Amino acid sequence: MTAGATTTARPAPRRTTERPNWLAGVVATGWLVIIAVPILTMIGWSVTSEEDFLSFGPLAPPRDITFENFASVFELGFLRYFWNTLVVTVGSIVIALVIAVPAAYAIVRSNSWLASASFRAFLLGLAIPAQAVIIPLYLVITELGLFDTLIAVILPTVAFSLPLVILILSGALRDVPRDMYEAMTVDGAGSFRMLVNLVIPMSRGSISAVGIFVGLTAWNSFIFPLIFLRSEENRVVTLGLQQFRQEFGINMPGLMAAVLLSAVPVFLLYLFARRWLISGLAGVGGK
Amino acid sequence: MTSTTTTDRAPAPARTRTTARPRRGRRRLGSDTAPRPGMLYVLPAALFFGMFAIVPLVLVVVLSFTSWPGFGDPQFVGLDNWQRLTGDQRVINATRTTLLLTVLGWATQTPVSIAIGVWASGPQRNRAVLSSIFFLPLLLSSAAIALMYHRYLDPNFGLAKDLGPLIGFPDGNILGTRHGALGVLVFVGMWQWIPFHSLLYQAAARVIPQMLYDAARIDGASRWDMFWRITIPQLRHTIVTSSVIMVVGSLITFETVLLLTAGGPGTATQVLPYLMYRSGFFEFQMGYASAVATVLVVLGTTVSLVIVRFSGFAKMRSTLEGL
Amino acid sequence: MRSSSTPIPTLKRRGFLGLLGAGAGATLLGGAAACSDDGGSAGDNEFDVWVLLDENVNPVSQASLDRFNAGSDVKAALVTEPNEGFRDALQIAIDTAQRPDVFFNWGGGSIRSYARAGLLEDLTPHLEADPAFKDAFLPSVLDAGQIDGRYYGIPMRQMQPKLMFFNTAVLEDVGVPVPTTWEEFLAACDTVAGNGITPVALAGAVSWTELMWIEYLTDRIGGAQVFLDIAAGTGQGWRHPAITEAVNTIIELVDRGVFGTNFPSVQYEAGGAETLLEQGEAAMHLMGSWSYTNHLGAAPDFATQQLAWGAFPAIEGGAGDPAAVAGNPTNYFSVTSASPHKEAAIEYLRQEMASEEYVRGLIGVGDTPAVADIEPLLAETEHAEYLSFVYQMVVQAPSFQLSWDQAIERAQASTMLESLAEVFLGNLDAAGFVQANEDAAG
């Protein structure tokens, strides 16, 4: 048996002697254009002044770069929306992970009926659309006295991301070889120690991936804030964008500035967490 | 389906192994003596999910037998809503539109995602750089993307004015025609979701063992053969995961429709979630909306269960078994 | 899979606890926000006034609240909500502790169900008891805020009849006078279209803009009673021949190119249609009187130099009075009956809604308030010409038809809007339109 040729999560070197794949290259280039053009246009518009935009049309590159659009977006309270959205996002990520990781562990390893019943429920839950239960959810939230609070957005967001998160985590955990659990048992570990010292480290990549997934879901959520939030001071970025559409009217550059700003924090996160994300997804799709 | 696998197969034949599992003679997969986590580990998740997802779900079904304008008390009306629903042309149209968009979405997103994902998993430098660019749409929320395209498609002041004529819309009236609006929804769906799914495929393609390709090349297989006989089967589980996410996601697409087409032109792009929202929050017929919601849930659940059961995903076999 | 020789990475205990702390912290932050916002709508000595988000009018409302607060123990707070979500937010909250104390509405169907469910304060006794208060408002407008004969709303904003707006520069360029009759209108459309310009701007991506056309056509062709019957469920309802003729007229207009070809994609709230008019890419626009304010804000030069206005053309041989007006009589403030601060709220309305400062404030932003005898005030404003025109239009109108989608129940309104959109798209004929609406009403 070959002990050395292991498959790891790092990309294995291969295909260096093959002919370049022209077809794939063409598709990739085409796709690059499709992705890049709307984004470049958005950036271009956001630094064009409104008058220039109306005078020179949508396809003209910006003549004088201006940041007045961003200024007017901030004047409308964007900073406050950022903060609210950040609270919602961080809260959702942490609560989701704290609940989901042990649950995935239990689903893969536990013999209890609750674990397998829960797994079925989560699979079922994948298909529950948030809009469908929004009315009863509203009742639950108001009964708990949480209307117009950020918590009211966090809790359902977590609940609805649990199915996918647990699905992905349990998928990754499946491949933790059984003898590792055995090895730890020999060391005298109980199931909790195994969770902390084996399961979590082994699935670190997937945990960061689903954490980012939950974070993105929370950052971009729209329907829950739409129904559960009321006051201006609790408004989140997605609602702010909708409000901007009304405020800005035909002012395309202004709206694009708002859209761009709404993505900046996520973009920063992406710059820092990209490696985690990519390596984490290896645990998702590869098995 | 069970959460621990005890298979009936004979133990794996002794082919070349890529895992460094220490040999301990023939072992039945799935048995070990390590202590198992109790149900306490899954209890918080179960409770949480129960309270914020299951209970409201039951309530929605209950509400579907009532008439409720959103305030005051719901009145029980028995099967009225359901009778109305089965004959309602809007529901039939909405279901048809939803299914159409779902199928089109899958048919456009999956092949491109696989292609891009596999391509991006290669080792060449430029691929890594380009992959970063491909990731950008994921940074934008559905709301942001819908708003952005909504502006682009303005026939008089947006890109549609200049680019519309190039694709057969001389007056830029893309969103105003049924085909245009549907096409836009499919396109935006692609733009928005292919980055995500191609990441899944990229990660999965990365861990396909190189030796499979080497062995095939020695046997004289063409690139095409290798793609279809090695890559795709190895991506099997990813295809299932991705497809479930994609299909369910398409079925419940709401924000994009709301902000981009508002169900229009006319009722051409009214999908089930939008119809549900409209009957509930615009027409204030929450009981009827709940019936529509129930249909949506049943549809989504059935589809995902079918995909999962059909593909054996739940048995959780690893694709690396047997190597 | 790792070989047994590489060490298993561990998550330090500290890191784990740190994460837990971060999550708890974030939750507490959200919860702290919850505590401070608890009680939903209003604090103990405060009542909430819900209005539409409108950057022009909100400051006027705020100023009136400030004046009231200066002299009252119970303070009032302004809460704004974008148009899109306003009715939803209201519907969800009206019967809960988050209800507003005072809220903006359109009268008619927008409050009928609430009034009948007893959720609104009946203001009739207060108006009867204070004739000066009651007579301060134009009777036709005040009456339009009645439900089943009782008053539930106090006018708080401008009268919003719908009228025609014209880009005089475009009309002059093509050599056409401002049309006042239907024949002139059609001729103008043909000439303008012949010059490659869209005759009439139409924000066809939303249906309520299209509604204006069928409202006026029906009124001019068949008279005001046609829709009154529809709304009340009496008479011939949708089967009245005027409806069919109106729909056929619309189809003819669309086929003739009066609205251009890409109107189904043109937005309203994004300023699409109005910008078309401002930029000279359309010659005419049928819209509510608020459009003037919008033009003032977006394109002041255009508004002051090239904008003209007039009533909807008269149709020869039609049964309707050419002076009849359609639109929103006004927006109203209503008071919720379960509000703990009803008295203070009504006092606010009594003090401010017809007060000179408030009226001046509204006039200053281009509104024409529904208050009686304000001709002198209007005449001395910057926008005297427009405001006086609109005011006279309403004072002299024999009837003021409430916008159809506000006048009937939401479920029926939804069908009406959808079927109308299909008519404009060329997918539905008059018979189909009538049938669809009858089914919804029946």
- What is the domain partition of chain C in residue ranges? 46-159+330-372, 160-327+403-441
pLDDT at A7 > cutoff 60 = no
Contacts of C280 in chain B (CB under 8 A): none
Contacts of A14 in chain B (CB under 8 A): 123, 210, 213
Domains and CATH numbers, chain B: 90-315 (1.10.3720.10)
Q: Are A200 and C16 within 8 A, CB to CB? A: yes
Residues 90-109 of A with CB under 8 A from C: 90-91, 93-95, 97-98
pLDDT at A4: 37
Question: Which segments within C169-272 are labelled E, that is strand?
Answer: 198-201
Report the Cα C410 to chain-centroid distance in Å: 15
Residue written as token pair 């309602």: B88
Q: Which residue has the higher pLDDT, A133 or B83?
A: B83
Residue written as token pair 């608890």: C38
pLDDT at A2 > cutoff 70 = no
> With bands split at pLDDT 50, 70 and 90, how would you rate the model's confidence at C367?
confident
Residues 52-111 of B with CB under 8 A from C: 69-72
Q: Give residue ranges of C with CB < 8 Å to any B CB.
A: 1-4, 87-88, 91-92, 94-96, 113-114, 117, 119, 204-206, 260-267, 270, 272, 275-276, 281, 410-411, 413-414, 418, 421-422, 425, 427
Q: C160-327+403-441: same fold as C46-159+330-372?
A: yes
Q: Which residue of B has its CA nearest to C280?
A: B156
pLDDT at C65 > cutoff 60 = yes
Q: Which residue has the higher pLDDT, A70 or C216?
A: C216
Q: What is the mean pLDDT of residues C295-308?
A: 88
Q: Which residue of B has its CA nearest to A159?
A: B49
> With bands split at pLDDT 50, 70 and 90, how would you rate the model's confidence at C36?
very low
Q: How far is C115 from chain B (nearest CA, A)?
A: 12
Q: Which residues contact A131 (CB under 8 A, 6 or more apart)?
A: A223, B252, B254, B273, B276, B277, B293
Q: Cα angle vertex C397, ends C394, C398, to 5°?
A: 145
Structure ipTM: 0.75
> Domain C46-159+330-372 belongs to what architecture?
3-Layer(aba) Sandwich (3.40)
pLDDT at A15: 45
Task: Note the pLDDT tens digit of each residue in C126-174.
Answer: 999 999 999 888 887 887 788 888 899 999 988 889 999 999 999 999 9
Q: Which of the listed CATH numbers 3.40.190.10, 3.40.50.720, 3.40.50.970, 3.40.718.10 matches domain C160-327+403-441?
A: 3.40.190.10
Distances (CA, A) of C5 to A4, A8, B34, B92, C341: 11, 13, 21, 61, 74
- Average pLDDT score, chain B: 80
Contact of C422 with B266, CB cutoff 8 Å: yes
Q: Are A58 and B301 within 8 A, CB to CB? A: no
Per CATH, the number for A77-286 is: 1.10.3720.10
Segments making up each domain of chain A, as ranges = 20-66, 77-286
Asked if B218 has any chain A CB less than 8 Å from its own CB, the reply is: no
Q: Are C29 and A150 within 8 A, CB to CB? A: yes
Q: Are A90 and C85 within 8 A, CB to CB? A: no
User: What pTM, to 2 d.p., does this model score?
Assistant: 0.78
Nearest to A250 among C33, C96, C271 (CB): C271
Nearest to C91 among B22, B70, B262 (CB): B70
Q: Are C37 and A226 within 8 A, CB to CB? A: no
Three-state secondary structure call for residue B152: helix
Q: What are phi and psi of A126, to 5 degrees?
A: -55, -30
Q: Which residues contact C66 (CB under 8 A, 6 or more apart)?
A: none
> With bands split at pLDDT 50, 70 and 90, how would you rate the model's confidence at C80?
confident
